[in-house]
Structure 1
C-alpha cells in the first residue's frame, strides 16, 4: 500500500510505541458480522500524506472496515511492531488519545470493524526467526488490546516476503519468514477467537504473478518475491476474512486467458479478481493449483482518486468490472472462468483520506451500486 499520492513526497513518522493497556477487544460473541457487501478503507492514522488527517469519529458511515495505517517494525527483522499516531506538527487536527480510542469504540459499537494495518510501502517486516515471530505476536497483541481493535490487516510489501531457493511447493513452505508469519497469525487467531478479523492486501506481484512465476524458479534467475504471498494465503485460507489485492501500482499481469492485462480499464479488475474466484495453476504447472477463495472473502482494491495511486479508474469503469464479476454482464473481451458471483464481498480503497479529499466519490459510488 502506498503512502504516497501521485507527485507527493514521503512523510516521516515520529518514533515511539503506544503503550499497552490491559483492556481486551470485545469477544467474538459481541461482534457484528460484515454486511453482505462491505466497503474497506485505509485511514492515515500515523501520517497525513497531503490528503489531510481525518479523526476516526469523522469517518463516514459508508466504510465498514477501517484499516489504521500503519503499524511498522522497529527494524525489518525484529518482529517488534510499533503504532505511532500522527504527530501534531503534521496533523494539527489530530484528536487526543482518549478521543481516538472513543472514536474506535463508537465505530465498533455501530458494527464497523477497526483493524491495525501492518506494513505498508515503508514498513518492511521479515519474521526470519522464531524470536521475531514471538515479538510480532506480543507487540501486535499489545496494540490490539490498547486500542480495542477487531483484528489486523497484513499489508506486507517490498522485501517483506520472498521465497528461498528450493521452496517450490506453496502448500508446504519452508522459507522461515513465511513459516513464522503463518504461525504468528495462527497464534493471534487462537488467542482472540473466531471473531478476530484477518484481512490481507498484497500486491499483484505477490499473488497473481504466481500464475507465471513462483519464487526464484529452477534456474534461480527469477525475482524470489514472485507469488510469495500464495503460501500464506493458502495456509490461512480458513482464517482469512478478506483478501483485498491491490489492483494498482502494478505492472502488466497475465490472466487466465493467457493475455497480459494492464491497469486503467475494467478488464484489469475483472481478470485479476477472476484468478482469485477460479483458482489458477502455479508457475504454469496444471498439477499444482492455487485453489479458489470464496467470493465473500474477496474485495477489489482500487485507488479512491487519481491522486491516490497509479491504476485509478472512474466509478463507471469500476461498475463495469462489478457488473461482470457479480452479474456476468459488461465483461467486454474477458469472460470470467470463475463465473458470476453476486456475493462478491465488495471494494477496498486506498484510502478514506484520499476519498474525502476528492469529495467522497468512491464511497458514494459504492453506496449507489450496492444499495
Structure 2
C-alpha cells in the first residue's frame, strides 16, 4: 500500500440539490430502497455506548470518549501512529448474495469507513477533512458463499486522532453462528514409544479442533486427526478434543487414555526426547571457539546440526559439505572417524542433521532446475554421512520476498515455492524418519506481526516475516522450529509492547506468539496459526561471544518457568502454558564448550515438572 496521502475525493453536490432531485422524480417513495423493511441493524455497539465491546483496534489505538459525540453519550476516538493507521473493526454475520448499506459519522482528517471479505468487491469511503461530524456511506453485495464480513474504520499513518460514531450496517441478517457441539467418538490408534495417533468424527459447524493432553492445549488443527509426539515411553496419557468456530469453543470430549510402548534407543520416526537440547557443531570451519570432534560432543545434546552445508553459488541450488581441513582445524578427525562417530551418536539416540545456510550461505531457489539440484545435492550429503535429516538455516537475503508475496497462505514467489517443494520432496524420499528443523531469525518470523507484505514503510524491509509461508506450508512436516532469539532488534509482542533481547520477557513474548498464533501485519483477518509446543524450541547464544542477545541461565530458567508452568512471569503475560515445549537450541556446541558447558548444564539441571 502506498504510504503517500490519497488524493482528495471529488467534491459532491450539496445535499439540498440531491433531495430536490429525488422529490421531483417521485417524492419520498424514491427514498425507500435505503431502508427496506427486511433490513436489520447488524453492527454491534455501533454507537460505542458499551465502550469498545465488539470492536478490535490495532496497536491499542482506540478509546471511547464522551466528547465530541454525534449521538448518545459516547464515541470512538482512535489515534494513528507512524506505522499504524488505528484500524478498529468487527466481524459481522451476513447472508450470501445480499446487499448491505454501511454508514457512520466521522470527524478528523483522512478517516475511512469500509468493509472487507465481502466475497465480491471490498468497499471503502473516506473524508479528507471533516472538522465537524460528516456522514460516510457505501454499499456492497456479498458473494455466493460469503457468511461474514469485516467492517472497519481507520485513519492515516502519523496523522492526528479521529472520531467515529453511530456506525451502522443495514441488510438481511445472517444465520447466527453457534458454538459447535462437543465432539464424540474420540479414539486413540496404535501407540509407539513416543507417539499416539488420535481421530474423531467431524462436528457440524466446526472450523477447527483443539486437542488437549492431560488437560493442557497442545494443538489446534482443522482436520479430524492428530498425532501426539514427543511422548515418554511406557507412559499413560489422557487426551480430549473440543470443536471451535468464531462463536467459541465447545466443551471437551470424553477423555481417552493411551499408553506408549517401551521402545528403545533413538530409532527412526523423527523421534526426539520430550524435552531436547539442540546445538550446532562447527564441522566445516574454525573460529575462536575451537574445533570439537564429533566423538567429543557431550551427551547433553539431543540434536546435533552440522554447520554448514553451503551453496556453490547463491542461485545454483548445489549444496556441498566438507569437513574442516586440518590446516584450519589441526585436531580435526578423519572423515572415516567422523562418520563412525555419527553412527555412535545415533546408536545413543541422538539425531545428526545437515544444516544448510548460515550467515554466509545464501540460497535462492529461483528456478525449478535449482530446486532439483538442491534436492539431489542435499540427498547426497544425507546419504554419504548417514544423517537423520535437514536443518534450514537460511539467513539474510535467502528468501527475498520482495518479489511480491503478501499472503503467507498462498505464496507465489518462485524462491519460496521452490524451497517448499524441495523440502517436501526430501521428506517424501526419506519418509517418517526424516527430521526437519528450521532456525530463522526473528526478523523473518515474529516481525511479520508488524510488517509482513507491507512494503518498505518507515524504512522497514519488505522481507519481514519471509519465513512465514515456508513454516506454514511445511507445518505438518516440521519436527522443530527454533527461531534465533538473538542478533535482533526489539520486536512487538502480542501485548503490543516492544521487547528487547537478553531478558526472559523477550523469549516469553516471542515464543508465546508461535504457540498462540498472531495476526500478520496487524490484520485480524489473516492470522498465522499456532504451532504445537512439541514443534517449538527457544534459540539462544551459548555465551557472550556467540552472539548479541546472550541471556543468563537465571533468565532462561525464568522464561521456561513462565512458558511451561505459567509461574514467575514478568511484565509479559502468556496466553497459556505449554509443558510440552520441546526445549532449547543454541549457537553453538563449540561456544558452550568454550564457556565450560554453562548452557548445557543449566538445561540438564532444569526441572520440567
Q: TM-score, normalised by structure 1?
A: 0.90
- The partner residue of 2:547 within 309, 331, 334 is 309
Higher relative contact order (CA 8 A, sep 6+): 1
* Equivalent residues of 1:37, 1:370 under 8 A apart: no
SS in structure 2 of the partner of residue 367 of structure 1: helix
Bigger CA radius of gyration? 2
> How far off is 1:84 after superposition?
1.3
Give the match for residue 69 of structure 2: none
SS in structure 2 of the partner of residue 118 of structure 1: strand
Within 2, Cα distance between the matches of 1:287 and 1:32? 34
> How far off is 1:218 after superposition?
8.7
Within 2, Cα distance between the matches of 1:367 and 1:32? 22
Within 2, Cα distance between the matches of 1:32 and 1:161? 26
- The partner residue of 1:351 within 588, 592, 596 is 588
- How do residues 1-12 of structure 1 correspond to structure 2 at under 5 angstroms? none
Task: Indicate whether 1:235 and 2:473 are aligned.
Answer: yes
Task: Indicate whether 1:100 and 2:338 are aligned.
Answer: yes
Give the 3 Å change call, closer, same or farther, for CA 274–103 of structure 1 in structure 2. same
Give the 3 Å change call, closer, same or farther, for CA 233–32 of structure 1 in structure 2. closer
Give the match for residue 438 of structure 2: 200
- The partner residue of 1:252 within 487, 490, 495 is 490
Within 2, Cα distance between the matches of 1:218 and 1:29? 47
- The partner residue of 1:56 within 288, 294, 301 is 294
* Equivalent residues of 1:304, 1:354 under 8 A apart: yes
Give the match for residue 561 of structure 2: 323
> How far off is 1:225 after superposition?
1.5
Within 2, Cα distance between the matches of 1:225 and 1:312? 25
- How do residues 1-371 of structure 1 correspond to structure 2 at under 5 angstroms? 30=268, 33-217=271-455, 222-337=460-575, 339-370=576-607
Within 2, Cα distance between the matches of 1:222 and 1:314? 30
Give the 3 Å change call, closer, same or farther, for CA 218–354 of structure 1 in structure 2. closer
Give the 3 Å change call, closer, same or farther, for CA 107–295 of structure 1 in structure 2. same
> How far off is 1:217 after superposition?
2.8
SS in structure 2 of the partner of residue 136 of structure 1: helix
SS in structure 2 of the partner of residue 198 of structure 1: strand
SS in structure 1 of the partner of residue 398 of structure 2: coil
> How far off is 1:219 after superposition?
7.0
Within 1, Cα distance between the matches of 2:570 and 2:460? 33
Within 2, Cα distance between the matches of 1:351 and 1:147? 21
Give the match for residue 21 of structure 1: none
Q: Which has the higher strand share?
A: 2
Within 2, Cα distance between the matches of 1:278 and 1:32? 24
SS in structure 2 of the partner of residue 89 of structure 1: coil
Within 2, Cα distance between the matches of 1:161 and 1:220? 21
> How far off is 1:357 after superposition?
0.5
Q: Which runs of 4+ in 1 moved over 2 A?
A: 28-32, 215-222
Q: TM-score, normalised by structure 2?
A: 0.55
> How far off is 1:29 after superposition?
6.6
Deviations 1:297-343 (A, max 9, x none): 00000011111100001101100000000000111111012x11111
- RMSD, matched Cα: 1.5
* Equivalent residues of 2:407, 2:453 under 8 A apart: no
> How far off is 1:193 after superposition?
0.1
Unaligned runs of 5+ in 2: 1-265
> How far off is 1:215 after superposition?
3.2
Unaligned runs of 5+ in 1: 1-27
Deviations 1:72-106 (A, max 9, x none): 00000000001111110110000000000000010
Give the 3 Å change call, closer, same or farther, for CA 370–57 of structure 1 in structure 2. farther
Within 2, Cα distance between the matches of 1:358 and 1:226? 33
Within 2, Cα distance between the matches of 1:329 and 1:195? 36
